[in-house]
Amino acid sequence: MQAPSSFDAVVVGAGVAGLFCATALADAGLSVAVLEARGSPGGRARSWMDANTGTEVDIGPHVVSTEHRQFLRMLERLGTREHIAWQDEPLIELLDAKQHLAVANVDWMPPLHGLPNLPVALRRLGIADALSHVRVAWQALRANVRRQRALDTQDALHWLRSLGVSERAIAWFWRSAMLAVLNVPLEQCSAAAAMRIFRLMLGRSGYHFGFPAVGLSQLYVPACTKAIRSRRGEVFTGALVHSVQVRGDAVRAVRLRDGRCLAAPVCVVALPPWHAGPLLARSAEPALAPLQQAARAFVGAPYVSTMLWFDRPVGAPRFWARVWNPQDLNTDFYDLARIRSRAPSPASLIACNAIGPNARFAWTDAQVVARTREELVEAAPAAATGRLLHARVHRIRAAIPQPRPGTETLRPGVRTPVRGLFLASDWCDTGVPCSMESAARAAALAAGGIVGATLALPPPETYGFAGLLRERN
């Protein structure tokens, strides 16, 4: 580690938020030290080389959308945006009761873009189920951010029932969508978080999904590191930060677990709540107590992510999702052999995620692989006879902070009461759900606050007829 005073800023954590923030600070001319506890950067969006197959494996498959606007802007800056493989059609393929349903990507004026997909929904729901959405749709079209936040005290299941949404529609649409997007069952989900997703779904159109065509880390870790080094900064790995030191009302230094201290005229804590909370608590600064308390309210969604290597094409779509079923293991599936730009050597490389209550941590790898294969066969029958060459199962205890009731209001801003001390991570109050986009927005907000510039894009808002219906503040 270099001499204490040689950096303009210190960033704790080298995930998306920490590296994006450090890159933005370097672009503004600051030398930045990034301190990362693990042996390699990337955090919850990292990848590494699998020794058995020579494939770069991700911690778990990640998807982006055209709504990841801040994230994509940074990839543009890093010169890696071309490594996103976009899917124009269909928006998503659903597997429901062994049948494929293609949801089209429609860019009509919102909310009219929902109409072409109504027949798809009506293959599974009755007219009465569709009509049971009238009140929630009206509330979503009228809601602005203030009204949305006011719902944070309720859980989403109670909210939907109170507005008359039918049980069948709740099971078929709402449980599937909210588990996939918000990583939490409806009864534990903040109605405010559910409302945000629904009103943006109704009020924006033309969005589609994309997938990293390279290992996740390759999207940003090398290019961010290069940008940081170009301004005499460095990314230090194996550097576990114990606490931040505050004197008067300003941050002074960070202390590592091995006892070393690094002077920090400006410090960004780019950590998830379950790491930021204890670190700030060890700082023993009374002004930070409300932040530590807020951090304690966040629970991470567990994930089990599985990868299966097959010796032949199994005929799977590039990307599909299973409609919610409590007996299921996995939610979203990808054939990386059809996504990655340098196709891995096997003919099919299937990756998938089991989320929240469906992520069975007690199961052995063999059980997870067997069930995953059964679910895969329903979408791609050739997987029954293809030879399984290799499998990996990743268990992630806390993948993404869940938006439980009350937490939307507790999401902190990037500024803290301590001068020079900032936060930047997916759980910050960014106007979007916890994700790589939220991490990127938090990074831009923190870097902008430090250098005194507007670096963050405005949060997404409804437009078209939907925008006209929205209540003004």
Ligand X SMILES: Cc1cc2nc3c(=O)[nH]c(=O)nc-3n(C[C@H](O)[C@H](O)[C@H](O)COP(=O)(O)OP(=O)(O)OC[C@H]3O[C@@H](n4cnc5c(N)ncnc54)[C@H](O)[C@@H]3O)c2cc1C
**Is the Cβ of residue 380 or residue 400 nearer to ligand X in the bound state?**
400
Residues counted in the chain: 473
Q: From its phi and psi, is residue 254 left (phi > 0), alpha (psi between -120 and 50) or beta?
A: beta
Helical spans, DSSP H, in 385-470: 407-410, 436-451, 464-469
**273 belongs to the binding site for ligand X (CB under 6 A):** no
Q: What is the DSSP string of 14-78?
A: -SHHHHHHHHHHHHTT--EEEE-SSSSS-GGG-EEE-TTT--EEESS---EETT-HHHHHHHHHH
The verdict on 437 binding ligand X (CB under 6 A) reads yes
Q: Nearest CA to 441 among 196, 74, 32, 35?
A: 74
Closest approach, Cβ 246 to ligand X, in A, equals 16
Segment contacting ligand X (CB under 6 A): 74-82, 281-289, 434-442, 463-471? 434-442
Interactions with ligand X, residue window 274-313 (CB under 6 A):
275, 279, 303, 305
Q: Which of 292, 425, 430, 462 binds ligand X (CB under 6 A)?
A: 425
- DSSP conformation class of 171: I
Give the residue with the Cβ less far from ligand X, 166 or 430. 430
**Binding residue for ligand X (CB under 6 A) from 10, 16, 189, 295?**
16
200 belongs to the binding site for ligand X (CB under 6 A): no
Are 166 and 160 within 8 A, CB to CB? no
Q: Please select the residue that binds ligand X; options are 57, 78, 170, 271, rule is CB under 6 A.
A: 271
Q: Could you tell me the smallest distance in angstroms from the CB atom of residue 398 to ligand X?
A: 8
Q: Which residue has the tokens 């052999």?
A: 337
Q: What are the contacts of 361-368 at 24+ separation with CB within 8 A? A: 361/302, 361/304, 361/395, 361/397, 363/304, 365/391, 365/393, 368/304, 368/306, 368/329, 368/393
Q: State the Cα–Cα distance between residues 292 and 309, nearest whole angstrom.
A: 43
Q: Which is nearer to ligand X, 184 or 270 (CB)?
A: 270
Tell whether residue 202 is a contact of ligand X (CB under 6 A): no
Query: Cα–Cα–Cα angle for 179, 183, 188, nearest 5°?
Result: 85
Among 9, 10, 12, 94, binds ligand X (CB under 6 A): 12
Cα–Cα dist 241/392, whole Å: 31
**Which stretch in 196-204, 340-348, 365-373, 395-403 sits in contact with ligand X by CB under 6 A?**
395-403
Which helix or strand (DSSP H or E) is residue 398 part of?
Answer: strand 388-401
Position among 7, 10, 11, 18 found at the interface with ligand X (CB under 6 A): 18
Binder of ligand X out of 30, 336, 337, 396 (CB under 6 A): 396
Nearest to 279 by CA among 15, 7, 35, 4: 35
Q: Which is nearer to ligand X, 382 or 398 (CB)?
A: 398
Using CB under 6 A as the binding rule, the residues of this chain from 24 to 63 that contact ligand X are 35-38, 43-45, 59-60, 62-63
Please work out the total of residues on this chain that contact ligand X, with binding judged by CB under 6 A: 38
User: Which has the closest alpha carbon to 182: 334, 354, 356?
Assistant: 356
Residue 22 in the binding site for ligand X (CB under 6 A): no
Instruction: Specify whether the CB–CB gap between 201 and 433 falls below 8 A.
Output: no
Q: Does 272 bind ligand X (CB under 6 A)?
A: yes
- Provide, rounded to whole angstroms, the least separation between the CB of residue 18 and ligand X: 5
Cβ 383 to ligand X shortest distance, Å: 22
Would you count residue 346 as binding ligand X (CB under 6 A)? no
- Which residues are CB-neighbours of 393 under 8 A, at least 6 positions away? 304, 305, 306, 365, 368, 369
| Cβ-based nearer residue to ligand X, 72 or 143 | 72
Does residue 240 touch ligand X according to CB under 6 A?
yes
Nearer to ligand X among residue 111 and residue 212 (C-beta): 212
- Angle subtended at Cα 223 by Cα 222 and Cα 226, rounded to the nearest 5 degrees: 85
Question: Residue 120 class from Cβ within 10 Å (0-12 exposed, 13-18 middle, 19+ buried)?
Answer: middle
| 470 touching ligand X, by CB under 6 A | no
Nearer Cβ to ligand X (15/110): 15
Candidates 3-11, 140-148, 410-418, 436-444 — which segment interacts with ligand X by CB under 6 A? Answer: 436-444
**Residue from 17, 227, 268, 376 that binds ligand X (CB under 6 A)?**
17
Q: Is 180 in the site for ligand X (CB under 6 A)?
A: no
Is residue 244 within the footprint of ligand X (CB under 6 A)? no
Does position 439 interact with ligand X (CB under 6 A)? The reply is: yes
User: Residue 434, interface with ligand X (CB under 6 A)?
Assistant: yes
H/E stretch holding 244 reads strand 241-247
Residue among 172, 168, 165, 193 at smallest CA distance from 181:
193
Tokens 């505050």 map to which residue? 246
Nearest 10 degrees: Cα torsion 384, 386, 387, 392: -70
262 binds ligand X (CB under 6 A): no
Binding site for ligand X (CB under 6 A): 12-18, 35-38, 43-45, 59-60, 62-63, 240-241, 270-272, 275, 279, 303, 305, 353, 396, 399-400, 425-426, 434-437, 439
